[in-house]
Amino acid sequence: MTVHSAIELHSDAVLADPYPAYRALRDAGSAVLLDQLGVYFVGRYSDVRSALNDWESFSSARGIGLNPIINEAWAEALICQDPPVHTPRRKLMDESLGPRSIRPVEDTIRERAEALADRLVAAGQFDGVADFAHDLPINVVMDLIGWPQDIRPSLIAIADGSWNAAGPDGPRMREGLGQLQRMMALIEEIYDNRRVEPGGYAQQLIEAAHAGRIERETAIGMMAGYIVAAFETTISAMAAGLYLFATNPGEWDKLRADPKLAMQAANEIVRMESPLQNFGRYVTRDTVLSDGSSIPADSWAIVSYASANRDERQFADPDSFRIDRKERQNLGFGHGPHGCAGQGLARMELAAVFTALASRVARIELAGDPERSLNNVARGFSKVPVRVAAG
């Protein structure tokens, strides 16, 4: 028997606070048919984790969006491919963003984080997005990738909005599609003119394509993937972390007392406010989920990382922010073949900035009302007014 729901997952009200809707859908069952979309919602932790591992049943090869336009546009993106095509291309990205590759920039990230913390303490009050979360991705990570200086601000401005294009057809999706097209045109121009800084990951991809090891479209799709893996989601997580510590002062005290908790704090931030909430998957065959419910072949499903990360079946008191939480196996960085290639870099940046702040700041407080950026896929803030007290 199919469980149905009238929840409109992409309405403004749900996007602003999706967690009550996720809980209702989890409680309804492992697979819930969203009547408005004709798509199944998979939101329980065990089912999401299984689906992310089972690429043969929950395929990315037809796209991860909820409309055919985006899925055609992203056909060469790494997130829209399955093994065996996915495997060698993913290897290229792992070589760029894996532990061995990012280790040489660890000192640079730590030094940049400490300089940022000094400036913020001196300022006393600042915006947690533009003044805080943008700093490392723009000044370290974009150097690592080799994006030209002149396009960096525009890349950040359009990357977040472009995720809207992966939602169902509507005004938000259409606006996001325009932003995505601008982003892809920018990347194509950079590729065709080899207009990247020498020594970065983007140059490696361009050289691989011009040497015939990969196609032009593959290189462009993977360069777009770097935008997500390396900085767009990290910006969202950094701003969310600042908000979470401002609204949970006891957790800030824990970090100040034990800075070694910084990496656990990074994981908990991503669990609480998963920067990418949901992706679509094409279900290739009849599939049975953990409660015995099933999704028929040739259906579309929304696989929800964010819902899984708040599942009380996996996490005790899942709506509470606890940086010393023992359950660390959250799905905010994905899982399986499509686990986030840049997760090591993201954790390194998050741990560095909050370690630097913890050694200088006694208290973080909101200095005004934060503003959410409503998005069909991504979750983040457009503004987080913050004040800090040195200590």
Q: Are strands 32-34 and 3-5 parallel, antiparallel or unpaired?
A: parallel
What pLDDT, on a 0 to 100 scale, did the predictor assign at position 228?
64
8-state DSSP, 315: S
Max Cα distance, the chain (Å): 61
Domain boundaries, the chain: 3-390
Average pLDDT over residues 118-144: 92
> Whole-number mean pLDDT of the chain?
92
| Least confident among 6-20, 93-107, 197-211, 274-288 | 93-107
Sign of CA dihedral 285, 70, 65, 300: negative
Q: Based on the number of CB atoms within 10 Å of its own CB, is 167 exposed (0-12), middle (13-18) or buried (19 or more)?
A: buried
pLDDT tens for 348-374 read: 999 999 999 999 999 999 999 999 999
Rounded CA separation 167/273 (Å):
19
Rounded CA separation 358/343 (Å):
22
Which uninterrupted H or E stretch holds 86? helix 86-97
What angle in degrees, to the nearest 10, is found between the helix axes of 249-257 and 233-247? Answer: 100
pLDDT tens for 210-245 read: 898 888 988 888 888 777 656 778 999 999 999 999
What pLDDT, on a 0 to 100 scale, did the predictor assign at position 229?
59
pTM for the model stands at: 0.93
What pLDDT, on a 0 to 100 scale, did the predictor assign at position 349?
94
Looking at residue 238, its amino acid is M
Identify which of 188, 164, 193, 196 has the alpha carbon closest to the alpha carbon of residue 70. Answer: 164
Helix (H, G, I), strand (E, B) or coil at 58: strand
237-270 burial, b if ≥16 CB within 10 A, otherwise e?
Answer: bbbbbbbbbbebeebbebbbeeeebbbbbbbbbb
pLDDT tens for 68-115 read: 999 988 888 888 889 998 888 788 777 767 777 778 888 999 999 999
Residue with token string 């723009």:
138
What pLDDT, on a 0 to 100 scale, did the predictor assign at position 125?
98
Average pLDDT over residues 46-75: 94
Asked whether residue 301 carries a pLDDT value surpassing 90, the answer given is yes
Query: What CATH class does 3-390 carry?
Result: mainly alpha
Rounded CA separation 97/94 (Å):
5
Rounded CA separation 350/265 (Å):
8
Q: Are strands 39-42 and 299-304 parallel, antiparallel or unpaired?
A: parallel
Q: Based on the number of CB atoms within 10 Å of its own CB, is 380 exposed (0-12), middle (13-18) or buried (19 or more)?
A: buried
pLDDT tens for 302-321 read: 999 999 999 999 999 999 99
| Least confident among 12-21, 207-216, 223-232, 268-277 | 223-232
Average pLDDT over residues 23-38: 98
Asked whether residue 140 carries a pLDDT value surpassing 90, the answer given is no
What pLDDT, on a 0 to 100 scale, did the predictor assign at position 139?
81
- Angle, alpha carbons 269-275-276 (nearest 5°): 140
Tokens representing 254 are: 């824990």
